[in-house]
Amino acid sequence: MTNVSATGPSPLPFGPQAPWLAPLAGFTDLPFRLLCRENGARVAHTEMISVKGLIYNSQGTWDLLATAPADTPLVVQLFGADPDCFAQPVRWLTERGFHWIDLNAGCPVRKVIKTGAGAALMEDPQRLVRIMQTIGRAAPVQAGVKLRLPADGSTDGLLRLRDTLARAGVSWITLHPRTARQGYGGLAQWSALSRMAESSPVPIVASGDLWNAQAARRCFEQTGVDGIMFARGALHNPRIFKADLATGAEEDPCTDTASIAALVRRHGQLCRRYDPSRSMLLKMRSFIPRYVKGFPGAKQARKGIIACQDWEAFEQYADQLEEALAGQ
Ligand SMILES: Cc1cc2nc3c(=O)[nH]c(=O)nc-3n(C[C@H](O)[C@H](O)[C@H](O)COP(=O)(O)O)c2cc1C
């Protein structure tokens, strides 16, 4: 990875001109990250990666770290509960050229929470801080942490946590202002973002209900956060990153059949180049329905991708997609 000085990696870019791609388990793999970067994402996350999976040398876990020269700056998101399990994986990561690390302290999935990881860390701030200290001492990395609202929804506790984490040396904090119990439903409480951003000693990155560029622009204006990351908004439209969030220029809505077909073709090209496996072809079945949603031929397009048995068939599918979407 580039930009690493003797004292550690350079700070990540923030601001309306530097939208980030959020970590999305099952989605933010190398081809999708490159697709988003080609459209303007300035920073991207891996999906969440288990520190225990790295320690136990699980091939599936290491595969999640596949990257390429254009895939930078890349934030590797780790999850785990035991502070002692973080030092060695972080050293391994830096040896392999990964220098930006994020701790997942927001995952609401029961299987993860049960182990004390993800959003369970919000209820055990001392452990959370110890993990961040361990990461910071293990190697010269820039480390961030992704938080949710605590279970009681209180922002006072969150502000104390922010200041403690800043003293522990975190380089940025991402807040997805929903409680773990809320999952991804209900509205994200942007008022909590405003409180976090006010006089924060570290940059605050917003996540939550950023479905399009207008929402991101509003979020900057209303909350005073330093940065934003697109999550489900990017899954629906990877061209969301093209919009100029600073000037207010309209986003590229990607609502014509030709642009969707071009997007699908490009996504397929990146998959074939970086991971032409059958499992990647099957994974395209989970991306395509979002891209084609709302078009007259969406149903046919969803059926079409399921019928693709190899990448040649996928290419033909992409060639015919524009017409199919128009319902012809
Ligand atoms: C399918 C899916 C997978 C996600 N995976 C992760 C993850 O691995 N790590 C993480 O910190 N957040 C994860 N998130 C949360 C998102 O990064 C983001 O914070 C959340 O979706 C709120 O943003 P949005 O309302 O703009 O989508 C995931 C969300 C979704 C929908």
Q: State in words which class domain 258-327 has.
A: mainly alpha
Which DSSP string corresponds to 224-284?
A: --SEEEESHHHHH-GGGGGS-TTTTPPP----SHHHHHHHHHHHHHHHHHH---HHHHHHH
Judged on CB neighbours under 10 Å (0-12, 13-18, 19+), 319 is exposed
State the Cα–Cα distance between residues 240 and 40, nearest whole angstrom: 8
State the Cα–Cα distance between residues 31 and 28, nearest whole angstrom: 8
Give the model confidence (pLDDT) of 291-326 as tens digits.
Answer: 999 999 999 999 999 999 999 999 999 999 999 999
Q: Is 146 annotated in some ligand binding site? A: yes
- The residue contributing the CA closest to ligand 1 atom 13 is 24
Q: Is the dihedral of CA 100, 51, 210, 147 positive or negative?
A: negative
Flag whether pLDDT at 146 surpasses 60. Answer: yes
Q: How far is the CA of 77 from the centre of ligand 1 (A)?
A: 12
Whether 107 is catalytic? yes
Q: Where are the domains of the chain?
A: 20-241, 258-327
Q: Over the chain, what is the mean pLDDT?
A: 94
Q: Tell me the average pLDDT across 218-238.
A: 97
Give the model confidence (pLDDT) of 3-42 as tens digits.
Answer: 334 456 889 999 999 999 999 999 999 999 999 999 999 9
On the CB side of 209, CA atoms within 13 Å amount to 14
Asked if residue 102 lies in contact with residue 147, where contact means CB atoms within 8 angstroms, the answer is no
Q: How far is CA 143 from CA 13, 152, 167, 285, in A?
A: 14, 26, 13, 33
Instruction: Give the H or E element holding residue 123.
Output: none
Angle CA(73)–CA(7)–CA(80) in degrees, nearest 5?
60
Which DSSP string corresponds to 139-173?
A: SS-EEEEEEEE-TT--HHHHHHHHHHHHHTT-SEE
Residues with CB under 6 A from ligand 1: 22-25, 47-48, 77, 104, 106-107, 146, 176, 184, 188, 207-210, 231-233
pTM above 0.85? yes
Give the relative orientation of helices 257-274 and 30-38 as an angle to the nearest 10 degrees: 130
* Superfamily grouping for domain 20-241: Aldolase class I (3.20.20.70)
Neighbours of 110 (CB within 10 A): 9
Backbone conformation region of residue 48, classed left if phi is above 0, alpha if psi is from -120 to 50, else beta:
beta
- Predicted local distance difference test score (pLDDT) of residue 251: 60
Helix (H, G, I), strand (E, B) or coil at 102: strand
**Residue 188 alpha carbon, nearest atom of ligand 1:** 25
- Predicted local distance difference test score (pLDDT) of residue 22: 98
- Predicted local distance difference test score (pLDDT) of residue 99: 95
